[in-house]
Structure 1
Amino acid sequence: MSNYNDNPFASSHSLDANPFDDPQDDHNARLEQIRQREADLERRETELNKRADQIRAHGRKNWPPFFPIIYHDIKEEIPEASRSLITRLYQLWLVLLVTLIINMIACIFILVAGSADGGRDVGSSIGYLFVISATSFLLWYRPIYNGYMKEQSLYYYLYFFFGGFHLLFSIYMIIGIPSTGSAGLIQTVQMFSRHQWAAAVLALIATIGWLAQGLGNAFYYRLIYAHHTAAGHTMEKAKTEFAAHGARAYFTRG
């Protein structure tokens, strides 16, 4: 029986449909979407398996990659609004590490070039490479990392104290006084004046490195101080947090 509400003149075909479309193209497009989804799932599964293996082998420790001793994940632990700042600070720490290596190599070339204080420079530069790289990470980078992760006053004051010392150390290394282990400005000028080109170029690169990471750290030091003030962090809060948590909270997320 026919329905009186039906329009006998209505077309059974959609007006939106293009009669010239090739059904095979739609089929191929759907297959391509399925393949992309499968590839994404496989990639995610591989990443999860790799992370699971990492956790089984080292717990949540993942840094440094060649010998994990702490957990370090800016994307996971730092709030989105602060990730770019902490990422830049981490990059500045990497610049510092590279600068320490170049500084040591430059001091070796300065010694070979016949500098009277070259032996002291090499010895001090080797010490800087191991001591400054470790202490800078632990004493100013890690505190501000924890500060933005936990938003606790104690970590900000640790950063300001040791970060301030690092800025002074950077100025000291930029100057480049002979026998101090710095292939800085004075050493660079001396090597150029003696036409010791290899030592001069390496010392110049080291000087630029010290200058770049020093200026970068000074810029972010100011930004972090402004954030610390706006957030209402105080020394009294820092003392209370230290009394409550102590040193055990240094590397933890709690």
Structure 2
Amino acid sequence: MSGYDSNPYVDPVDVNPFQDASVTQVTSGATESMGEFNPFSATEMGNNSDTTIPISAAASSQPAILQTSSEQSARAAATAGQANLIKQQEELEKKAAELERKEQELRNQSAASASNLGTKENNWPPLPKFFPVKPCFYQDFEQDIPEEYRRICKRMYYLWMFHSATLFLNVLACLAYFTVDPARGVDFGLSILWFILFTPVSFICWYRPVYKAFRSDSSFSFFFFFFVFFFQVAVYVIQTVGIPSWGNSGWIVSISVIGSNLAVAVVMMVVAGFFTVNSVLAIFLLKMVHSKYRRTGASFTKAQQEFSHGVLTNRTVQTAATSAATSAAQGAFGRNQAN
């Protein structure tokens, strides 16, 4: 009868689904963990501070964006081109600075030369200080003569020295000739005259003009040199020939002495060879000076202008002209008074 007393509408076993063991375990664990967690506790804050990631570290940890090969090559080419331009600009600036420095040096040298032009002391001929005669000319190839004309100007100076030495040897040869033949005293006397006369005259009349011409690019000095040196070449030829009784130990006189005295003839032939070398060198250097003259732009018109300017500005010429004009005026006035 017990079976009939039970309620048929009630489950025979009262089952609570929330009382399941798995659900109860999960809910109880979550409750315990939530109850223990305190975000404001010192322990939890210390743990969180240890694991904080800075912004920079986070940004650096981002994956890099890969560039394509074309972009890399274009950027490398642009960088190389910019570096090349910078290098070229630096080189140009260095060259410009060097040119400016050289121009400044040239301007300083020109200014120094202009300021010292009137105060330069004569240094030629190089005589001792105790000598009573002082030097008469100033000569400095390095300072006065441009580099392109310096060599030819020095050669002209060496020609003049060789010319002077040849005239001195000619005096000795004519002396030897005079000792063999007393009738040749005229040759010996003329040889002394040629040495005393032609040595300083050649220096003043053709060497100094060519020195001045190369120093100041003077057309007048060039023309004066050509005019005088042409006659000098003619004199060299005459001395080389050796006309008797002209005071020169040339080839004709030297050969005529061979029969009478061989030693004197040899000495005179050596001097004749020196005269020949003088003639050859003079013709050769004359052509060289003429070629240099054509490059300087000198002309006969410039020579006339330089001569006119030099004559008009020369104090001596002005004084002489004034004196002549005054004398002429006084003479004319005197004649008028007499009439």
- With normalisation by structure 1, the TM-score equals 0.71
**Mapped contact 1:111–1:122 kept (Cα < 8 A):** yes
Equivalent residues in 2 for 1:1-254, closer than 5 Å:
60-66=121-127, 67-114=134-181, 116=183, 118-197=184-263, 199-246=264-311
Tell me the distance in 1 between the aligned counterparts of 2:240 and 2:136.
32
Letter matched to residue 123 of structure 2: N
Mapped contact 2:152–2:289 kept (Cα < 8 A): no
* 1:232 to partner: Cα distance: 2.5
Structure with the larger RCO, 1 or 2 (CA within 8 Å, 6+ apart)? 1
State, as a whole percentage, how many aligned pairs show the same letter: 28
Query: What letter matches 1:143 in structure 2?
Result: P
Once residues 150 and 173 of structure 2 are traced to their aligned partners in structure 1, the CA distance between those partners, rounded to angstroms, is: 34
Structure 1 ranges of 4+ moved more than 3 A: none
The alpha-carbon deviation at position 163 of structure 1 amounts to 0.3
| Structure 1 residues 137 and 146: alpha-carbon distance in aligned structure 2, compared to 1, 3 A threshold | same
Higher alpha-carbon Rg:
2
Offset at residue 193 of structure 1 (A): 2.4
TM superposition shift of 1:141: 0.7
Tell me how far 1:190 sits from its aligned partner.
1.4
How large is the RMSD of aligned CA atoms in angstroms?
1.9
Task: Tell me the alpha carbon deviations over residues 40-71 of structure 1, each in whole angstroms, 9 at most, x when there is no partner.
Answer: xxxxxxxxxxxxxxxxxx96111111241110
Deviations 1:154-177, CA, capped at 9 Å, x for gaps: 000011000000000000000111
Q: Which amino acid aligns with 1:203?
A: M
How far has the Cα of 1:99 moved from its partner? 0.2
1:113–1:196 CA contact under 8 A, matched in 2: no
Quick one: which amino acid aligns to residue 160 of structure 2? W
* Other structure's SS at 2:270 match: helix
Partner Cα distance (1:158, 1:220) in 2: 16
Identify the residue that residue 18 of structure 1 maps to in structure 2: none
**How far apart are 1:178 and its partner, in Å?**
1.1
TM-score normalised according to structure 2 size = 0.54
Segments of 5+ residues of structure 1 without an aligned counterpart are 1-57, 249-254
Deviation at 1:115, TM superposition (A): 5.6
**Matched length:** 190
Instruction: Tell me the CA shift for residue 107 of structure 1.
Output: 0.4
